Amino acid sequence: MPKRAFNGVLKVLAYFADKVGEEVTMYQIQRELGMRYDTLARAVEVLKNVGFLEERIDPGPPARRLVRLTEKGRQAAQYARELLRLAGIL
C-alpha cells in the first residue's frame, strides 16, 4: 500500500476514535478531514476489509453511505489517534 494511502487509512481510523457508536456519512468524513473522495473511499474499503468499519446504505432520498466503527475497530481507532498524535500529525 502506498505511503499516502496508509496515511489516509490511519487518519480515517483515528477520526472514528471520538465517534464510537455513531454513523457518519462519507461526505461528513470528507469535509472534516479535508480528503479527496477517492482517497477516503479507498481508506474506508481497507478498514472495512479488516473489520474495523462497517457500512450501510441509507436509501434516502438522497441515498447516503453511512459508516461506523465496529467493536474490533474501537481499540484500533484509539491506537491510530495516539500514533498520529506522537508523529505530530494530529
Task: Give the separation between CA 7 and CA 86, rounded to whole angstroms.
Answer: 14
**What pLDDT score does 43 carry?**
94
Q: Is residue 84 a contact partner of residue 21, using CB atoms and an 8 Å limit?
A: no
Cα 40 to Cα 35: distance, rounded to the nearest angstrom: 6
What are the tens digits of pLDDT across the range 49-67?
999 999 999 988 888 999 9
The residues spanned by each domain of the chain are 3-86
pLDDT of the chain, 90 residues: tens digit per residue: 444 545 789 999 999 999 988 999 999 999 999 999 999 999 999 999 999 999 999 988 888 999 999 999 999 999 999 988 888 876
Angle between helices 26-33 and 3-15 (to 10 degrees): 110
What's the whole-model pTM score? 0.85
Residue 56 has which C-alpha cell?
A: 450501510
Instruction: Name the fold adopted by 3-86.
Output: Arc Repressor Mutant, subunit A (1.10.10)
Q: How far apart are CA 90 and CA 80, in angstroms?
A: 10
pLDDT confidence of residue 84: 86
Percent of the chain with pLDDT over 70: 92
